[in-house]
């Protein structure tokens, strides 16, 4: 049971050229994986020239290697300021001619250094129906608030955390016996459906803006 808005047809999502995606991820990378799958099965006319991760033991690194994607570790612990990390990220993405930046579970706050280098081209996914439950532990926040419906949101990133124009959302029910694990799993199923679609949607917008 879910509600997705808006669900687009493959025809509506067709891109006239290949969108180059620079992915940033901190953890497991299941969203990174579905992006690669969507590209492989031609749902998304894209390529991922580079994956940046910040935690040395992040599982996403192995997924990247499995998909033959170049991976770079930029460990935030090695940078004095958030801006310094973002500057390094910008340099990597510019060197790879990236069209869109995809934050696929990037657990760092981004600064204007990144956002101004790629204006309206940084996409984030968040496990709640924004503007509800911003910030960390969004799934736990929804359980604590005892809401009956939550979900996920793909949006353009802005300086304010988990805020910005919404591309797509999907809603899921919360059941009496849900734990944060069962609820997060239900939300992630929907994330995996809408993320490639929302990326295609934004790519279409930037290609026609040019
Ligand atoms: C997702 O739930 C996403 O909404 C949040 O971080 C999680 C990343 O999951 N920002 P994964 O690493 O893609 O599996």
Give the CATH number, domain containing residue 74.
3.40.50.170
Which atom of ligand 1 is the closest one to the Cα of 104? Answer: 13
3-state secondary structure of 102: strand
Phi and psi of 131, rounded to 5°? -90, 15
Looking at 53-179, list the stretches that DSSP marks H as alpha helix, in order from N- to C-terminal side.
60-66, 82-95, 112-117, 138-145
How far is ligand 1, taken at its centre, from the CA of residue 96, in Å?
Answer: 24
**Closest residue by CA, ligand 1 atom 9:** 105
Tell me which residues are annotated as active site: 126
Is 154 inside a domain boundary?
yes
Atom of ligand 1 nearest to the CA of 184: 2
Number of domains in the chain: 1
pLDDT of residue 210: 59
Alpha carbon distances (Å) from 109 to 62, 75, 124: 24, 14, 11
* Residue 26 maps to a domain: yes
The predicted pLDDT at position 12 comes to 78
Residue with tokens 């006239």: 16
> Mutation test of ligand 1: which of 26, 27, 30, 31 has the most ligand atoms closer than 8 Å to its C-beta?
31
Where are the strands (E) in 10-139, listed by range? 19-25, 46-53, 71-73, 100-103, 122-126
Q: Is residue 119 part of a domain?
A: yes
Asked, for residue 9, whether it belongs to a domain, the answer is no
Write down the pLDDT at residue 74: 98
pLDDT tens-digit series, residues 62-94: 999 999 999 999 999 999 999 999 999 999 999
Q: How far is the CA of 21 from the centre of ligand 1 (A)?
A: 17
Domain presence at residue 1: no
Domain encompassing residue 200: 14-209
Q: Assess if residue 4 is contained within a domain.
A: no
> Does ligand 1 come within 6 angstroms of the Cβ of 162?
no
For residue range 2-26, list pLDDT tens digits in order: 687 667 787 878 899 999 999 999 9
Closest C-alpha residue for ligand 1 atom 6: 105
45's CB contacts (< 8 A; 6+ apart) are: 14, 15, 17, 18, 19, 39, 200, 203
- In this structure, is residue 138 part of a structural domain? yes
Q: Does residue 191 have its Cβ closer than 6 Å to ligand 1?
A: yes
Q: Per residue of the chain (210 residues), give pLDDT as tens.
A: 568 766 778 787 889 999 999 999 999 999 999 999 999 999 999 999 999 999 999 999 999 999 999 999 999 999 999 999 999 999 999 999 999 999 999 999 999 999 999 999 999 999 999 999 999 999 999 999 999 999 999 999 999 999 999 999 999 999 999 999 999 999 999 999 999 999 999 999 999 885
- DSSP, collapsed to helix, strand or coil, labels residue 143 as helix
pTM score, two decimals? 0.96
Q: How far is CA 189 from CA 99, 138, 170, 184, in A?
A: 26, 16, 10, 9
């Amino acid at each position: 049971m879910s509600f997705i808005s808006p669900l687009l047809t493959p025809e509506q999502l067709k891109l006239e050229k290949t969108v180059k995606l620079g992915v940033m991820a901190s953890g497991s990378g299941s969203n990174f994986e579905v992006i690669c799958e969507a590209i492989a099965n031609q749902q998304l006319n894209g390529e991922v020239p580079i994956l940046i991760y910040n935690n040395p033991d992040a599982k996403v690194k192995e997924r990247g290697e499995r998909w033959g994607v170049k991976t770079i570790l930029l460990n935030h612990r090695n940078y004095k300021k958030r801006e310094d990390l973002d500057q390094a990220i910008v340099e990597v993405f510019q060197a790879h001619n990236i069209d869109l930046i995809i934050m696929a579970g990037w657990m760092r706050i981004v600064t204007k250094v990144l956002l101004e280098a790629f204006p309206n081209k940084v996409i984030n996914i968040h496990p709640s129906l924004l503007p509800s439950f911003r910030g960390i532990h969004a799934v736990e926040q929804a359980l604590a608030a005892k809401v009956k419906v939550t979900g996920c949101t793909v949006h353009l990133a802005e300086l304010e955390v988990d805020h910005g124009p919404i591309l797509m959302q999907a809603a899921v029910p919360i059941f009496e016996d849900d734990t944060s694990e069962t609820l997060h799993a239900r939300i992630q199923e929907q994330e995996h459906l809408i993320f490639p679609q929302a990326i295609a949607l934004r790519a279409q917008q930037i290609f026609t803006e040019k």
